[in-house]
Structure 1
Amino acid sequence: MSETAGRPLIGVSTYLEAKARWGVWELPAALLPVGYPRLVQAAGGIAAMLPPDDPSYADEVVARLDGVVIAGGPDVDPARYGSEREERTGPPAPERDAWELALIEAALASGTPLLGICRGMQLLNVALGGTLVQHMEGHVEAVGVFGAHEVKPVPGTLYESIAPDTCSVPAYHHQAVDRLGRGLVVSAYAEDGTVEAVERPSGSWVLGVQWHPEMGEDLRVMAALVRVAGPSAGRGIA
C-alpha cells in the first residue's frame, strides 16, 4: 500500500449459497452478513467481498489487498485434516474450503495481515496442519441464536496486547481447535478450556478468533488488523 493511500482495503471471504431469497428473487448467491463489512468500516477500513473463485487466482487477489479476513460459516470438511466425518458435522462446502485455504496460503506467503473469524480460525489451523474437534457442547445458545461467554488472553501474546483483560464475546460454534497447526500458539481460552484465539508469533500479522466480533460492539480485533494493514505498516514475509 502506498504512503499516500487512504483507508486500507480489507477483503472478506463470503458464503456461497445454492438458494437465497431477497425481494422477488430466489437465486444462487454469494453473500455476507452485514456485520462483517460494517465492522471493517467502523474500524477504518474499506470492505471488499471475496466470493469463492478459482484457487489459482488467490495470489493475484491477495496482492491487491491490504488485509484479509476469513469469515465464519459452515464446518470445514474433515477430509481436509485427515479425519472421517462424524455424525454431527455439517455438510461440506468444497468451493469455500478450496478458495479460503488458497487465500490463507497466499496471505501467509505474501505477509498480508490475516484475521480468521470462527470457521476462519479453524481453517487457518487446518491450513497449517492442525486438526479440529468435530463437536462440542456449550458454545451455542440455541439454533440460530448467538450466545456470549468470557475469553481470557494468554499473557505476552499479540491478542493480549489488543485486549489485555478477560472479556465477554459473542459466540456460535460447535467445533474447535484440537491439535495446533505448525507455528501457531494459543492466545486466548474460554473458561472451559476451549481454544478461543490462535496466532503466529513469527512472520506477518496472523490472528484467529473463535468468536464473532462482527456480532458485537468491540472493535479492537478488527481495528488492530486495519491498523497493521495501513499505509505506515511494513510487510513481513512468512
Structure 2
Amino acid sequence: MRPIIGVTNTTRQGFIDAYVNAVAAAGGAPLVLPVLEDTSALEEVLSRLDGLLLSGGSDIVPAHYGEAPMYGLEETKPYRDKHELSLLTQVLEHHSYPVMGICRGMQLLNVHGGGSCYQALEKQRPEAGMHMLFGVYPFECPGHNVSITPESSLHAMLHKEQIAVNSFHHQAIKELAPGFKVTALADDGIIEGIERAGDRFVVGVQWHPEMMAKTDAHSQQIFRAFVQECSR
C-alpha cells in the first residue's frame, strides 16, 4: 500500500500540483491538508498519516522568531503560520512519522525549533549570490550548486557531495535551531539543507525539488527516499 503523506496547502499558482504529483510519482498517496482556524479538527487526519510534507509559500511572520518586520519582508499569511506551527507541534509531539520541509517548510522547521530567518537576503546579506530567480529561470532550471554534508540524511539519499538546484527564495535560515544540523550549503554560505539530530527523519531543503522532479534524477531520489521512510 502507498503511504499517506499529508501536504500542507499553498495558494501559489501551480505549486500544490507539483508537490502532490512528485509525492505520487515517488509511490506515495498525497493528501492536501486545509488551513483551519481550529487545528484540533485535524487530529483525526494526522493520526492516519504516514508522513508530513511542509510546502513552500509566503514569508513567516517575524514575530515568531522574535523580530519586528523590516524593509524587504514580503507577503505573510499569519493564519497559515499559526495553523502550521500548531500542526507541526502536534506531529512532532504525538506522532513518529517522517517530516520533510521544502523552502518555507524548511524555514518553518527551523523557526518552530527556536531558530530565526533572514527576512530579506538582498538587504541583510547583500554579498550573497542571487537566490530569487523567479522570472529569471524556469522553475525546473538549476540556478546554483549546493554542497552536501557527508554523513547526513541528504547525502545518504543522493550519494553526492554537490548537486545543482533551482532557487526561488529571498529569505533563508539565519540562526539554526538547537538540535538541528546543516546538511547543505550554497557557495555563498547560505543554508540550503537541515535535519534534526536523532533517529527520526526530520529534513528540510531550501530549494524546490518538486518543480524539478519530472526530469531531474536527484529531485526524484529525494522524494523516493522520503516516501520510503514513510513506508517503514
TM range (shorter): 0.7 to 0.9
1:47 maps to which residue? 30
Residue 144 of structure 2 corresponds to which residue in structure 1?
A: 149
Question: Where do 1:112-131 residues align within 5 Å?
Answer: 112-131=97-116
Structure 2: which 5+ runs fail to align?
123-129
Hey, what does 1:208 align to over in structure 2? 204
- Contact between 1:124 and 1:208, CA under 8 Å: does it hold in 2? yes
The aligned counterpart of 1:56 is 40
Q: Does 1:73 align with 2:69?
A: no
Partner AA of 2:133 in structure 1 = E
1:169 deviates by 1.1
Counterpart mapping for 1:48-197 below 5 A? 48-53=31-36, 54-109=38-93, 110-137=95-122, 138-143=130-135, 145=137, 146=139, 148-165=143-160, 166-197=162-193
Task: Decide which moves more: 88-97 or 76-85.
Answer: 88-97
* Secondary structure of 1:33 counterpart: helix
Q: Percent of aligned pairs with the same residue? A: 38
Residue by residue over 1:29-49, the C-alpha shift from the partner in whole angstroms, topping out at 9 and shown as x without a partner, is xx8531111100111001110
- Scaled by the length of structure 2, what TM-score is found? 0.86
Write the deviation string for residues 157-206 of structure 1: whole angstroms up to 9, x where unpaired: 11111123211112200000011112100011111111000001214210
1:15–1:51 Cα contact (<8 Å) kept: no
Using the TM superposition, give the Cα deviation of residue 15 of structure 1 relative to its aligned residue in structure 2, in angstroms.
Answer: 2.2
- Provide runs of 4+ in structure 1 moved above 6 Å: none
Supply the distance in 1 between the matched residues of 2:182 and 2:156 (Cα, whole angstroms). 14
- On the 8 A contact 2:11/2:57 being kept in 1, the answer is no
Between Structure 1 and Structure 2, the one with more helix by share is 2
What CA distance in whole angstroms lies between the structure 2 residues aligned with 1:189 and 1:66? 29
Tell me how many residue pairs correspond in the alignment.
214
Q: Evaluate the alpha carbon distance shift between residue 68 and residue 144 of structure 1 in structure 2; reply closer, same or farther with a 3 A threshold.
A: farther
Larger strand proportion of the pair: 1
2:152 and 2:196 mapped to 1: Cα distance?
Answer: 9
Unaligned runs of 5+ in 1: 1-5, 21-30, 234-238
Per-residue CA deviation, residues 110-147 of structure 1 (Å, 9 max, x unaligned), is 11200000000001000000000111141012448545
Q: CA-to-partner distance for each residue in 1:69-120, whole Å, 9 max, x for gaps?
A: 0000000000111101011111320121111112222222211200000000
